[in-house]
Structure 1
Amino acid sequence: PYKVRDFKISDVATFDLNDSFRDANKPFFKSVTFKGGTDPEAAARAVFQTGDIDYAWNLQVEPTTLRTLAQNSQTAALLTVFGSSVERLDLNFSNPDASLGDKRAEPDTKHPFLADKSVRRALAMATNRDAIAQKIYGDGLFGKATCNVLAAPDAISSPNTKGFDVCKFDVDAANAELDRAGWTKGADGIRAKGTVKLKVLFQTNVNARRELTQALLKKDWESIGFQVDLRSEPFTTFFSNTSPGGADRFWADVQTYADGGDPDPTAYLTSGWTSGQMAARANSWLLGNRARYSNKDFDALVVRLFSESDPAKRADIARQANDVLIQDVAVIPLVQRAAVTSGVAKSLKGVDPSPWDSEMYNVADWTK
């Protein structure tokens, strides 16, 4: 709808109305100006306090400050839209012991303690996702607690997980789970069974929110008898198949990052957790099942998604697949992230952001 008049890197881009736009009655502005190079809090004040701008996106501002600015604003409103991106914990089903050499974390190895479902259940029950959402993600500004890996769209988001015991923060239940499974605390406070101790290497990329999440989880997990060592990798090496400390190789016990799928979750479920998609040395760790999870029931549900065409039935199958992953503790979802956290002038009409596209996708419809 608009064409570039001027573009200055890291500064300003100016667009003029496109006279050749397909709809003769749109767009509604003669020009649109994008201003960059401003820190998020300054952008928030410009839209909420002074009204100097009409739209400010990606407002990664300290939650209390942002909420106060929005609540006291006479000029703009805060707009938050949630998408499919979920901060989650991957649990390694293979053995990441370096002594295994080329067999390290290969799909045909078994994790010394995470292969025990009781241990995975205990970790899940000692995971306080509500505290993570409130303390780290602004209690709904940047993310909200979820126990679904399929968090959006609503049609595929399972209501069942609200009743799952592994989705409830309950330290007493976590301790009882480990007691029943024969994992007992030693003099050092670390649980063990035979010669195997519950020592967890927990990795993520260098990121303030994820490192705060690590610290919070470490405290709760150690309270039930785990030893938790934390590691953070630079972004470029963590999200890489070439680094020993990367998410793709997953040479640790637990890792956290965010991921999400399209409105149709078939490809996301297939890549992330089906038996045929395990990351391994033979495929240069390029496949998406980093945890090397394998479950025939889950695989069968995904196969059904490839042949079912009825939307309602497809949504039901997707919810079932989600529930299998959660009940088997193949993954521990934490927070559904906000795809949009923006300030919008009250005088600006037609803004209707989607988590599946650019916030500007319908800029031709914007009016004042």
Structure 2
Amino acid sequence: MSATNLRADIDYPKNMIRRLFLPLVILSCFLSITFAACSPQDAPTTQNDKNLKLLYWQSPTILNPHLATGFKDFDAARLVYEPLASYDHSDRLIPLLAAEIPSRENGSVAADGKSVTWKLRSGVTWSDGEPFTAKDVVFTYNFIMNPDVGSSSAEVYAGIESVEALDDYTIKITFKNITPGWSVPFTGQRGLILPEHIFASYNNSNIRSARANNQPIGTGPYKLVSFQPGDLALYEANPNYWEPDKPFFERVEIKGGGDATSAARAVLQTGDFDYAFNLQVEGHILQQLAAGGKGKILANFGSYVERIMFNFTDPNQATADGERSSVQFPHPFFSDKRVRQAFDLAIDRDTIANQLYGKTGRPTAQLIVIPAAYRSNQINYSHDLEKAKTLLDEAGWKDTNNNGIRDRDGLEMRVVFQTSVNPVRQKTQEIVKQSLEAIGIRVELKSIDPGIFFSGDPANTDTINHFYADLQMLTTGNESPDPGPHMKWWTCGEISQKENNWQRPNYARYCNPQYDEMWRKATTELDPEKRALLFRQMDEFLREDVAVMPIVERATTTGISNTLTGIEPSPWDANTWDIKNWQRQSI
């Protein structure tokens, strides 16, 4: 939902988003939904005015962003940690822990595309008073790339040759190859900097036992007071924060529990909370709740695409050491492209998008939906059960014993289809199950608590990383305007498996050397137009090979109190990336 991720679940909007200091259009324009009267107003500053209450029905479970895979965890960590810079909704790179943005003009980006130098902000301290220096950036890189750590951010940094501190406030990143995406490392939610003095003794396989994973010390606008994973996180303003007069709120609460509908109600109807995360609720229900008058719906289309993933390995066979979904055992029928085509033809994207998502979703078969330069206009989809049946017949899968289930060589075509607990996802599962069973495939549905599904915990086999099922559904997308890291997910070297602690993002275990070569060319091409073409072709290649089934382009949908202002969501960072700017106005 991240990202690995990332993103798995949501779940991450884009340059189509407009600034929020404009009138809010409620559930009508989902490329741009904005606030009314967002300019700061004089208002009483009572204790309640200074308390911010966020409701995350998919609640955070870990606060170390480089061990996280769920958007909920990035959002919670982002209050405490910061990157060097982050992209805003207009695709502008905004300096945070960096003093300035590198460029060719200021000599910080090498002409040969193989290095970049960052100047860091001086005078910044961690919330415990220790100084932030270049050594912390170098440590963060070494931490992420340590295979004993098993960081979920590793693929973002894999193209780096070295990170060195030139002095206390200057770092130089040298890349292994020509790298047009120099701005990806150390930016956005995958770029959050960790304090060396806190994590140095845990830069190895004992990282999962580090207290700092859930008791973070950061440079961000807030510091943690207490954390109960899966339930409640309490923060207070960081008195050492480097930006004057920020943040506005003195205390922040992130409460977990409930479901998406009850979360929406708590903001839109009862006003018990100021903000509700990831309201993946049926469109008509959201409209009814929005009439409650206490809040508004903020829905922004970005890079996030709900997709159903094939498992290219057999989840029912295990290696000698007990690893399932191993590359040693190809899937018994998804290895045949005709079978994958049949499954794809059975997916009724229009019904799913229109009936379940309404204005917060659009049917799609693409992985890259933004930026526009990278979006292919050659990718289409269709829903055709009869053609799907024909393809399965041609592949040798027929119902030989008239029990309603296709079989071949004594093996019946049965699949386990898993996703997280979420009302829209369970209804999507039902629609997909109905279509697949209509063409002779028996489907078992499995719903997993999102705190587990997106946890990235190597000890838990119900995570997206393990993928011990035949199909799984989640949302993710590119986490920066550069789609390179996201499209790397489909390369052979990124397969999630036991030897990398199940921390790589290729959960599908898809591997095609032809695709790998396309990715290598795209990531070293400096000409912007040629590079964009290569990424469009990569998306088209995955579509033609039916490597995955994208189904809905999803808006990031949140509920926001009428009194809350200053929010400018970015498609390239956590939902809380700008929480230091959030304020309360009287109404």
Alpha-carbon contact 2:349-2:551 (below 8 Å) kept: yes
Stretches of 4+ aligned residues off by more than 6 angstroms: 11-15, 30-38, 69-73, 347-351, 362-366
Alpha-carbon contact 1:351-1:363 (below 8 Å) kept: no
Structure 1 equivalent of residue 539 of structure 2: 322
Structure 1 equivalent of residue 332 of structure 2: 112
Alpha-carbon contact 2:267-2:561 (below 8 Å) kept: no
Aligned pair partner of 2:494 in 270, 277, 299? 277
Alpha-carbon contact 1:278-1:287 (below 8 Å) kept: yes
Alpha-carbon contact 1:44-1:59 (below 8 Å) kept: no
Distance 1:243 1:58, change over 3 A: closer
Q: CA-to-partner distance for each residue in 1:229-253, whole Å, 9 max, x for gaps?
A: 1122222332333222322111211
Alpha-carbon contact 1:150-1:156 (below 8 Å) kept: yes
CA–CA distance in structure 2, aligned partners of residues 58 and 251 of structure 1? 28
Distance 1:349 1:209, change over 3 A: closer
Structure 1 length-normalised TM: 0.78
SS at 2:458 equivalent? coil
- For residue 396 of structure 2, what is the amino acid of its counterpart? G
Which structure shows the bigger proportion of residues in helix conformation?
Answer: 1
Structure 2 equivalent of residue 130 of structure 1: 350
Higher-RCO chain (CA-CA 8 Å, sequence separation at least 6)? 1
Structure 1 equivalent of residue 367 of structure 2: 149
Q: CA-to-partner distance for each residue in 1:109-140, whole Å, 9 max, x for gaps?
A: 21111101111110000011221122222x12
Alpha-carbon contact 2:269-2:290 (below 8 Å) kept: no
CA–CA distance in structure 2, aligned partners of residues 360 and 232 of structure 1? 30
Q: CA-to-partner distance for each residue in 1:41-72, whole Å, 9 max, x for gaps?
A: 3533589xxxxx9x966583652243357699
Structure 1 equivalent of residue 514 of structure 2: 297
Structure 2 equivalent of residue 227 of structure 1: 442
Distance 1:108 1:313, change over 3 A: same
Alpha-carbon contact 2:313-2:326 (below 8 Å) kept: yes
Aligned pair partner of 1:173 in 387, 400, 409? 387
CA–CA distance in structure 1, aligned partners of residues 504 and 371 of structure 2? 25
Distance 1:189 1:284, change over 3 A: same
1:264 corresponds to 2:478: no
Distance 1:9 1:70, change over 3 A: closer
How do 1:183-222 and structure 2 match up within 5 A? 183-186=397-400, 187-222=402-437
Structure 2 length-normalised TM: 0.51
Count, aligned residues: 344
Aligned pair partner of 1:355 in 547, 565, 571? 571
CA root-mean-square deviation:
3.9
Aligned pair partner of 2:304 in 75, 80, 85? 85
1:94 corresponds to 2:313: yes
Question: Aligned-pair distance for 1:200?
Answer: 0.6
Distance 1:107 1:135, change over 3 A: same
- Structure 2 unmatched ranges of 5 or more: 1-38, 55-233, 256-261
Distance 1:269 1:87, change over 3 A: same
Aligned pair partner of 1:44 in 250, 258, 268? 268
SS at 1:144 equivalent? strand
Distance 1:299 1:31, change over 3 A: closer
Question: Aligned-pair distance for 1:290?
Answer: 1.2
CA–CA distance in structure 2, aligned partners of residues 35 and 219 of structure 1? 41
Q: CA-to-partner distance for each residue in 1:204-238, whole Å, 9 max, x for gaps?
A: 22222222221211111011011111122222332
Alpha-carbon contact 2:495-2:510 (below 8 Å) kept: yes
CA–CA distance in structure 1, aligned partners of residues 51 and 295 of structure 2? 27
Distance 1:66 1:59, change over 3 A: farther
- For residue 104 of structure 1, what is the amino acid of its counterpart? R
CA–CA distance in structure 1, aligned partners of residues 250 and 341 of structure 2? 52
Structure 1 equivalent of residue 3 of structure 2: none
How do 1:5-20 and structure 2 match up within 5 A? 7-8=50-51, 10=53
Identity %: 32
Distance 1:210 1:309, change over 3 A: same
SS at 1:160 equivalent? coil
- For residue 268 of structure 2, what is the amino acid of its counterpart? A
Alpha-carbon contact 2:282-2:355 (below 8 Å) kept: no
Aligned pair partner of 1:161 in 379, 402, 405? 379
SS at 1:332 equivalent? strand
Distance 1:279 1:56, change over 3 A: closer
Alpha-carbon contact 1:340-1:355 (below 8 Å) kept: no
